[in-house]
Amino acid sequence: MIGSPNKPLPRAPSVAIVGATGAVGTEMIACLERRHFPLSRLKLLASPRSAGRSTKFKGHDVRIDALDALSLQDIDIALFSAGGAISKEFAKTAPRHAVVIDNSSAFRMEQHVPLIVPEVNIDQIACHSGIIANPSCVAIIAALALWPLHRANPIHRVVATTYQAASGGGAALMEELRASTKAFLTNQNFTPRVAPHDYAFNVFSHNTRVDSESGNNEEEIKVARELPKIMNAPNLRVGVTCVRVPVLRAHTIAMTVEFEHPLTPGTAREILRNARGLEIVDDRKSNRFPMPRDATGRDEVLVGRLRQDQSDPSGRSISMLVAGDQLLKGAALNAVQIAEYLMKSHDA
């Protein structure tokens, strides 16, 4: 059972990645390597199907083991990205002093589980009882742009629509997007197996279960709940429409944001220019704004197309576009950043 971190984390912890062969797990390994995370040992865990394969880490082959109840016994930090069911079953097998950073939605809304975007609420990291949740990708990417503005001028309402990439559905959905597109271009029939619809040159409402009562899908419900928790803004009202577009791995989000007081796009741009984790891409003259192809492989979330919302004459609403790599800041990078802060608080 996970308990309080009585025994401190060692200076060079042993780290496990649960779901090491998935799209996010693969990026977690890459993030740990390129950011020189000070680990003493990397343990890669996956389903029995992937066990026995190996992956390069800092030039060495690391074997992938099948996850079982004993896998995490000697682990200090476990990064989970293998779905909510695996997190629920195996997070508790970590030792009492260990910290689980969970990329699933299993624990995100639990009261004693901090939901962390380091640039926003790293102060919450001290409140964990063994589990820290990594927010959903759309919530992370949106929060990065909303938070600095919210601090300057409280946000009352966000109306967001997403242009979500295949990567959110894992490596299998990315591959299906490629395969269906190839089939379309060569006039061949294609039967989708991962997506509910043919993805080639198509757009479809997010492929999570739709609540029969409210009509919102699970992705939308997550975003609307997680943003107020991340931003510690319980009264923030979020209306969001989540849509998949035929893009491989970066999400774009269009947001219309209503503030307490009037705000000019120029002021918003200056606030965001000085914020961490963001890059302004807002060139009206050359028509260059945040795009998923530009955000792919980037740690920064791109933000731009900042302008007054023409439908709110009070001057209190700003529209914008953000684009962020779903696998990096939207998942793996954010989780690794949380692990880095765990080590920093250890140093302090």
Q: What are the catalytic residues?
A: 137, 251
> Which stretch, 26-34, 47-55, 136-144, 319-327, contacts a copy of itself (CB under 8 A)?
319-327
Collect all residues with Cβ–Cβ distance below 8 Å to 84 and sequence separation of at least 6: 104, 105, 106
Least distance (Å) from a copy of itself to the CB of residue 106? Answer: 22
One-character DSSP codes across 52-121: T-EEEETTEEEEEEE--TTTTTT-SEEEE-S-HHHHHHHGGGS-TT-EEEE-SSSSTT-TTS-B--HHHH
| φ and ψ of 185, to 5 deg | -70, -20
- Asked if 306 is part of the footprint of a copy of itself (rule: CB under 8 A), the reply reads yes
Contact flags string 216-235 toward a copy of itself, x per CB under 8 A: xx------x-----------
Least distance (Å) from a copy of itself to the CB of residue 178? Answer: 6
Within the chain, where are the H helices?
A: 23-34, 84-90, 118-121, 137-152, 171-185, 218-230, 265-273, 292-295, 333-347
Residue in 254, 267, 280, 340 binding a copy of itself, rule: CB under 8 A: 254
Least distance (Å) from a copy of itself to the CB of residue 105? Answer: 18
> Which stretch, 5-13, 77-85, 120-128, 284-292, contacts a copy of itself (CB under 8 A)?
284-292
User: For residues 113 and 247, which CB has a smaller minimum distance to a copy of itself in the complex?
Assistant: 247
Residue in 83, 307, 341, 345 binding a copy of itself, rule: CB under 8 A: 307
| CA 70 from centroid of its chain's CA atoms | 28
Least distance (Å) from a copy of itself to the CB of residue 213? Answer: 9
Contact flags string 21-60 toward a copy of itself, x per CB under 8 A: ----------------------------------------
Instruction: Tally Cβ neighbours within 10 Å of residue 338.
Output: 23
Collect all residues with Cβ–Cβ distance below 8 Å to 163 and sequence separation of at least 6: 243, 245, 247, 251, 252, 253, 254, 292
65 torsion bin: left (phi>0), alpha (psi -120 to 50), beta (else): beta
Query: Residues interacting with a copy of itself, by CB under 8 A?
Result: 157-159, 161, 163, 177-178, 181-182, 185, 196-198, 200-205, 207, 209-212, 214-217, 224, 237-241, 243, 245-248, 252, 254, 256, 265, 284-289, 291-293, 305-313, 317, 319, 321, 323
